[in-house]
Amino acid sequence: MEKPSWTPIVLSGAVPREATDLLAILVMGIVAVEASLAALSPTLFGSRLWLSLLVAPPTCALASVSTTTRRTREELALFAYGGSGWQILLRYFIRGAIIALVAFSPVILQEFLTTTSILNLVAAVIVLLLTGGSFYSLPSLRRIRSSSFVENYKS
Amino acid sequence: MSSVIETRSVVVEYPSVKGILRLYDQGVSLKVDQGDFLAVLGGSGWGKSTLVNVILGLEKPIHGSVSFRDHDVTRESFVKRCALIKTAAVFQRPTALPQMTVSQNLHLALSLAGVPRKDRDERIKEALAFFGLDKIERSYPDGLSAGQRRRIDLARALAVKPELLVIDEPTGDLDGSATNLLIPLLRGLNRNQGTTIFMTTALPRQASQAKHQVHLRPPLYLTPENRMIGD
């Protein structure tokens, strides 16, 4: 007698292979490496702001690509309302920069209170805003430039 | 009379499993004058929506040109075309922003179109009432039916009071009563306010309501051997 099996469903999708899976692995990997390095040598990695910044790009990219369907609808609507590509990109760039700034605010505050070089801190914050904004808006740029984007207007 | 839109020998091609899909093999050449109401009639897959996208600058033809008020805009974006002619577009698929209410969607569209703040409320109220959306103005599009979302798009386009209204299959997703209202509304808009209308439809009865009609021809497939086969 033929017996149904549940294993193909599990095994065919158990291995992480999507872009979002890889981004999640990257984020957790960076955090894990940072924690290990700090434990190994607290003095060398005492100022952890720069190392922490490595987490911003993949996290912002992950936030952006994990809502692709909804985001595409937003972009289609904004174009239909008369918006331009750069306005849409700016919208997401600012959103990404805010996300990064809010998330890193405890580290920035700590650095502000303890740092001896304010310039170093300002540079780190600028890098943070640029990477957060860029990596949040890049998936949109890729989408709206693709030839298949306008196909979404058709049913 | 100066033409609002003019296309000359426009041809579009797409790669497909059957070969290269060529729309408008002979090239679409049409002219829409100020105050005209043109209906483009064609079957499913004949390129009606693609022609709308080409007119709006969302897709580029491989041959031919598009002019807005005698300016060649073939390679220009939708925004640049809107700067030449105040244009509103209604696509086949509803496009309301999901995180905004019906009313907020219209506010955003009017604000992007440069409608003064003091005029927005009145225009939105009128448009929502006309399309029977006044009771759901605080609802979010995702909770509404396809027909209601279609009406949001129509209300948004008409509230802008465009010089040119480009509308792709206007009665798709609408129920019978809304369909019966819409074509007379478009005719009234065209006649009373002088709005130039470019509409596509698959229904000959609907196309016959327009002042002029253009009939599309079925697409062709170009095989790798460059043989041309009919659909």
Average pLDDT, chain A: 88
Residue B12: exposure state from Cβ atoms within 10 A (0-12, 13-18, ≥19) = buried
Confidence of residue A23 (pLDDT cuts 50, 70, 90): very high
Q: What per-residue confidence (pLDDT) applies to B178? A: 75
Distance from CA of B192 to the nearest CA of A (A): 24
Cα-based torsion angle of the residue sequence B31, B34, B36, B37 in order, rounded to the nearest 10 degrees: 90
Give pLDDT tens digits for A62-111. 999 998 988 999 999 999 998 999 999 999 999 999 999 999 999 899 88
Q: What per-residue confidence (pLDDT) applies to A40? A: 78
Interface test with B, best of A67, A69, A81, A150 (most B CBs within 10 A): A81
Confidence of residue A45 (pLDDT cuts 50, 70, 90): low
B78 CB within 8 Å of a chain A CB: yes
Chain A hits for B53, CB-CB cut-off 8 Å, are: 150, 153
Question: In the predicted model, what is the mean pLDDT of residues A28-53?
Answer: 75
Q: What per-residue confidence (pLDDT) applies to B225? A: 66
Q: Which residues of chain B have pLDDT under 70?
A: 1, 224-231
Chain A hits for B59, CB-CB cut-off 8 Å, are: 150
**Chain A residue with Cα closest to B54:** A150
Give the percent of chain A with pLDDT over 90: 50
| Cα distance between the two ends of chain A | 45
Give pLDDT tens digits for A123-148. 989 999 999 999 999 999 999 988 88
Phi, then psi, of B99 in degrees rounded to 5: -90, 5
Q: What per-residue confidence (pLDDT) applies to A44? A: 57
Tokens of B146: 């396809």
Q: What per-residue confidence (pLDDT) applies to B226? A: 61
pTM for this predicted structure: 0.85
> What HEC string does A15-43 produce?
CCCCHHHHHHHHHHHHHHHHHHHHHHCCC
